[in-house]
Amino acid sequence: MIDRQRIETLAKQVVLPQKHLINGKHVGATDGGTLDVINPGNGQKLTTIADGTAADVNAAVVAAKSAFERGVWSRMPPAQRKKILLSFSDLVMAHQYELAVLGVRDNGTEIAMALKAEPASAASTIRFYAEAIDKVSGEVAPSAEGSLGLVLRQPVGVVGVIVPWNFPLMIAAWKIAPALAVGNSIVLKPAESASLSLIRLAELALEAGLPEGVLNVVTGQGSVTGEAMGLHPDIDVVAFTGSGVVGRKLLEYSAASNLKHIYLELGGKSPHIVFADTENLDRAAKAAANGIFRNSGQVCIAGSRLLVEEGVREELVEKIKTHAENYKVGDPLDVDTDIGAINSEQQLQKNLSFVRTALDEGANRVTGGARINEDSGGYYMAPTIFDNVAEDSRIAQEEVFGPMLSVMSFSDETQAVQLANSTNYGLAAGVWTSNLSRAHRMIQKVQSGVVHVNCYGGADITMPMGGLKQSGNGYDKSLHALDKYTALKSAWISLEN
Ligand code: NAD
């Protein structure tokens, strides 16, 4: 049961953090620059954050590297690291309302979803990797008599973490927690429009006992601070979630600097595939609607293409339309809101330009397609459905990252697979069918990092998450994520006299 009173009180009282957190201290930008933070719920200025410079990034990297080399965290006994991360997880849960309110105020996600997907998810992620610390070992190789081969897992050093604005706590925790668990130091750069909850998260890590300099947060513009991180010679690994455009830049920065490893979690154009033999079309319709409209479609795995078998197309689209038109879209801090705000004016305009494109391309508007609640000053858009979308059109191929569903139909399984795989992306997919063999065939043939069967979303921390094709490389979540933050070192020991 969500505590409404607490949310209302916190919305008035919560302290908005404004500065970087470097080496355990709050500091402003070296040149004094600030960026305005806009509340997307009403379009008004909420506060400012430090507009970081390359010098600020350097200060954070120096702090992280020094902490790493001094061994205050990297050589701390694993059991002690575990204890600190467990208490970090507990503190995140104890502050869940504060973190959720902070996050919602600058990113616009509906609070009911934010409470689950943000602090609660971050806390369980931190706990998962804390518990892994004393269970992941190196290896003894099966070498011949006379020699001994050891494979050691070592932390990589300084990890740069760059995250987007849609689920800042959840996504940052997927990277920070495994990187910290194995002993690395971190420089974290939040998105310009979702920094507040991440600064607070790092404060809680300090409170839990994480030594100063191990987790540093630098806010500011991606083109300045993000670029400086990508080019920095003392950052060993960058773990990134965001757009393919920026992902490509990071690969260039790496090539132009120290060949740091770049791990990318990028966008998607995920197919939600519904066969006519689906047992419960109502459930499929609800999942399809939630899968594209919650958080205003600002979800990397959003099921933005509905591929439906011809026989049930009309019925299914009608059911999804009913959901779309019944959502309560509005104030992100209202517990009864189903869909909050678009993150920024710029993103809202981008979404609306996709509506114009869809109409120009000849798609049929089923519902939505316009800005709503404009009187509030906030950035809201009606859940939007386009039918008769052509396979090669822009709204079938490009990620909108907004509440917009493109509907296409198929006549058989072969065509469903062909349509599903017809974009450059490969992040997620959903398949609805009551035929078990078909479900398994689809799991094998659909090119995506995850295939949901008779559901959409909800895979927990035990499952890896990553994209195929241009949706990225590397994996967040699960024990596989530890591979990104550890280097394997081989030791070959002669046992001869
Ligand atoms: P974005 O790429 O614009 O920004 C992401 C981060 O990169 C931000 O912190 C930004 O400041 C920073 N950045 C911007 N320019 C940079 C540069 N030149 N160098 C380094 N860093 C720079 O993405 P966004 O608009 O914040 O987020 C939306 C995108 O993120 C969508 O494509 C979405 O699909 C993707 N996403 C993917 C996943 C996933 O797990 N695969 C999860 C969430 C979001």
* DSSP state letters, 172-230: HHHHHHHHHHTT-EEEEE--TTS-HHHHHHHHHHHHHTPPTTSEEE--S-IIIIIHHHH
- How far apart CA 62 and CA 440 sit, in angstroms, is 50
Summarize the confidence of residues 30-52 as an average pLDDT: 97
Contact 328, 338 (CB under 8 A): yes
As given in the structure block, the two tokens for residue 391 are: 């396979």
Pocket perturbation via mutation, ligand 1, pick of 241, 346, 425 by most ligand atoms within 8 A of CB? 241
Angle, CA of 396, 402 and 407, to the nearest 5°: 35
Residue 217 has pLDDT above 90, yes or no: yes
Summarize the confidence of residues 424-438 as an average pLDDT: 98
Summarize the confidence of residues 437-460 as an average pLDDT: 97
300: annotated active-site residue: yes
Residue 384 has pLDDT above 90, yes or no: yes
Q: Give 222-254 pLDDT, tens digit per residue.
A: 999 999 999 999 999 999 999 999 999 999 999
Pocket perturbation via mutation, ligand 1, pick of 56, 107, 109, 166 by most ligand atoms within 8 A of CB? 166
Supply the residue whose CA is at minimum distance from atom 23 of ligand 1: 242
Give me ligand 1 centre to Cα 392, in Å.
25
Give me ligand 1 centre to Cα 163, in Å.
6
The three state secondary structure string of 338-398 is CECCCCCHHHHHHHHHHHHHHHHCCCEEEECCCEECHHHCCCEECCEEEECCCCCCHHHHC
Supply the residue whose CA is at minimum distance from atom 40 of ligand 1: 265
Summarize the confidence of residues 181-203 as an average pLDDT: 98
Q: Give 287-317 pLDDT, tens digit per residue.
A: 999 999 999 999 999 999 999 999 999 999 9
> In the predicted model, what is the mean pLDDT of the chain?
97
Summarize the confidence of residues 134-152 as an average pLDDT: 96
Q: Give 155-169 pLDDT, tens digit per residue.
A: 999 999 999 999 999
Diameter over CA atoms, the chain = 84
Q: Which of 98, 300, 309, 399 is catalytic?
A: 300
Q: Give 480-496 pLDDT, tens digit per residue.
A: 999 999 999 999 999 99
Q: Which residues, judged by CB distance below 6 Å to any ligand atom, belong to the binding site of ligand 1?
A: 162-166, 171, 189, 191-192, 222-223, 226-227, 230, 241-243, 246, 249-250, 265-268, 300, 399, 401, 427, 467, 472
- Residue whose pair of structure tokens reads 């200060």 in the numeric block: 59
Start-end of H helices in 257-344: 281-293, 310-326
Level-2 CATH architecture, domain 271-460: 3-Layer(aba) Sandwich (3.40)
* Beta partners for residue 21, in sequence order: 26, 217
Give me ligand 1 centre to Cα 216, in Å.
19
Confidence (pTM): 0.98
**Predicted pLDDT of residue 497:** 86
Supply the residue whose CA is at minimum distance from atom 8 of ligand 1: 191
Percentage of the chain exceeding pLDDT 70: 100
Give me ligand 1 centre to Cα 310, in Å.
36
Say if domain 4-266 classifies as CATH 3.30.750.24. Answer: no
Supply the residue whose CA is at minimum distance from atom 38 of ligand 1: 300
- Residue whose pair of structure tokens reads 């450059």 in the numeric block: 424
Pocket perturbation via mutation, ligand 1, pick of 125, 240, 246 by most ligand atoms within 8 A of CB? 246
Residue 1 has pLDDT above 90, yes or no: no
- Residue whose pair of structure tokens reads 């019925």 in the numeric block: 315
- How far apart CA 321 and CA 365 sit, in angstroms, is 11
The conformational region for residue 54 under phi > 0 = left, psi -120 to 50 = alpha, else beta, is alpha
Which residue type sits at 157? G
**Predicted pLDDT of residue 236:** 98
Name which of 235, 132, 227 is nearest 180 in CA terms: 132
Name which of 343, 351, 335, 300 is nearest 106 in CA terms: 343
Q: Which of 110, 192, 203, 265 is catalytic?
A: 265
Q: Where are the domains of the chain?
A: 4-266, 271-460
